[in-house]
Amino acid sequence: MLQIFLQGFAVYFIIWWMTLFAVLPIGLRTQAEDNDVVLGTVPSAPARFRAAFVFSLTTLISAVIYGLWYVCDTYFGWGFDALPQLGPSFY
């Protein structure tokens, strides 16, 4: 039972991490856009980083993606083994 939980958590963590990089630029305003570049920083640095918004949105989107993956794997049998093999098989 613990192994199943850890596998599910590992899949969710990978989905969450990949989703984080897709969510980071959403609503981002750079210092150059605000005409307030702090000395010693690049103009493309965020003017104000909204960590709570980014992490909440990432968690929500990741939960939806994980839920879709879980339903497809559990009820339809479309798991990772159902994906086509694009590379050579070495086993």
Low-confidence ranges of the chain (pLDDT < 70): 83, 85-87, 91
pLDDT, tens digit (0-9, with 9 covering 90-100), for 58-76: 999 999 999 999 998 889 8
- DSSP character string of 12-33: HHHHHHHHHHHHTTTT--BTTT
**pLDDT at 86 (0 to 100):** 65
